[in-house]
A and B are shown apart, each in its own frame.
Chain A
Amino acid sequence: DAKTTQPTSMDCAEGRAANLPCNHSTISGNEYVYWYRQIHSQGPQYIIHGLKNNETNEMASLIITEDRKSSTLILPHATLRDTAVYYCIVRTNTGNQFYFGTGTSLTVIP
């Protein structure tokens, strides 16, 4: 079962930052937070992951709270091509698989 809770949908104006929240209050100390996105009918695309510290790459930033019970994915300048379903995943240390949950459907509005 997914260990995360995300809003079902969000809108963001093109060019603005998109901040996607995720709650994972039962996360264990050595479990990673991963973010993937899926554009309709394509395979999920890896965005970023982290354990404790904030992370940044060319696509996004990941902010993890100090207690690790929640995180926020930040797309700094959203474009129309960022419209997708975004999945926040806690990768458990049992089984190694990803539990995707239902994700957040982000719509970037012109």
Chain B
Amino acid sequence: KAGVTQTPRYLIKTRGQQVTLSCSPISGHRSVSWYQQTPGQGLQFLFEYFSETQRNKGNFPGRFSGRQFSNSRSEMNVSTLELGDSALYLCASSPTTGMNYGYTFGSGTRLTVV
């Protein structure tokens, strides 16, 4: 079956702009999480959604937001982009939120802010 699909794969934006990234989870998966990966900070948790509700949020400023639709697809938005937002943004999905369920990651969206 199809894996986690993230679009676009690459994106270049200018400081001050806003960006929306999309994630389509594996069919039947209802939990979607987002992570940011940078060389300096590694992989850091952004937020998790389950059944259209944000269940948990990492330590990121309010410029980072997300949502989940009824079909479990998710989007994340970053407003007023800063150079430091340049990163690989990864989406991961899981059937549910239980601790005994692993997450399947997508290939990510590489965002470059210039």
Residue numbers of A with Cβ under 8 A of B are 30-32, 34, 36, 41-46, 49, 51, 87, 91, 93, 95-102
A101–B42 CA distance with the chains assembled, in angstroms: 7
Contact partners of B63 in chain A: CB under 8 A: none
Within B82-114, which residues are at the interface with A (CB < 8 Å)? Answer: 88, 90, 92, 97, 99-100, 102-108, 110
Q: List 22 A-B contacts (CB under 8 A).
A: A30-B99, A31-B99, A32-B99, A34-B102, A36-B105, A41-B110, A43-B4, A43-B90, A43-B92, A43-B105, A43-B106, A43-B107, A44-B92, A44-B105, A45-B105, A46-B104, A49-B102, A51-B100, A91-B99, A93-B99, A99-B45, A100-B43
B75 lies within 8 A of chain A by Cβ: no
A43-B4, A97-B33, A100-B44 known; 19 new pairs, CB 8 Å cut-off, are A30-B99, A43-B105, A43-B108, A44-B90, A46-B103, A49-B100, A51-B100, A93-B99, A96-B48, A96-B56, A96-B97, A97-B45, A97-B48, A98-B45, A98-B103, A99-B45, A100-B42, A100-B43, A101-B42
Contact partners of A43 in chain B: CB under 8 A: 4, 90, 92, 105-108
How far, in Å, is B40 (CB) from chain A's closest CB? Answer: 11
Contact partners of B88 in chain A: CB under 8 A: 41
Interface residues on chain B, number (Cβ under 8 Å): 25
B28 lies within 8 A of chain A by Cβ: no
A95 touches B56 (CB 8 A): yes
Q: Which residue of B lies closest to A46 (CB)?
A: B102
Contact partners of B58 in chain A: CB under 8 A: 97
Which of B90, B99, B110 counts the most A-chain CB atoms under 10 A from its CB? B99
A32-B100 CB under 8 A given contacts A45-B105, A100-B43: yes
Q: Which residue of A lies closest to B110 (CB)?
A: A41
A44–B104 CA distance with the chains assembled, in angstroms: 8
Contact partners of A100 in chain B: CB under 8 A: 42-44
How far, in Å, is B113 (CB) from chain A's closest CB? Answer: 18
